[in-house]
Amino acid sequence: MVSITLAERIAHTTKLQEKVRKYSYEQVLKKKYGITLDQKKEMAIKQQWKCANRKCNAYLDWTNITKIAVDHCHTTGKVRELLCTICNTTLGLLERGGDQLEGLFDYMKRYKVAPES
């Protein structure tokens, strides 16, 4: 009988979990956006790992590509470019008609917080 240490067991389990997570994420990318993980990485490289919003200075987190948002048209499903999480969330608010965004501006006014320019 082969004996393995707890550390070896944990390392093996962690590697398996990583493989499952990567496989699952690749399946989500393919099903939801019709792209592969390699294609998403190619998009990030083409954008020089920067958010597609030209006024945003954020770099995309290359250490965790799953956190980079794939911007797409909700009507056609066509993939556009990659956005940082903040820009993607803001775009989502704008696409909902702006009421939520307007509500946030009102919230900021109540606390006299000026938006950054």
Whether pLDDT at 45 is above 90: yes
Q: Has residue 117 been placed in a domain?
A: no
Instruction: Classify residue 116: in a domain, yes or no.
Output: no
Specify the CATH number for the domain of residue 67.
3.40.1800.10
In a domain, 1, yes or no: no
Give the per-residue pLDDT at 99.
80
pLDDT, mean over the chain: 84
98-117: pLDDT as tens digits: 787 788 888 888 987 666 65
12: containing domain: 6-110
Considering its fold, how many domains does the chain have in total?
1
Nearest CA to 80 among 56, 49, 51, 37? 51
As separate numbers, helices (DSSP H) first and strands (DSSP E) second, the chain gives 4, 2
pLDDT of residue 16: 67
Q: Is the pLDDT of residue 59 over 60?
A: yes
pLDDT score for 96: 79
3-class SS at 14? helix
- What pLDDT, on the 0 to 100 scale, is given for residue 66? 76
Question: For residue 115, is it within any domain?
Answer: no
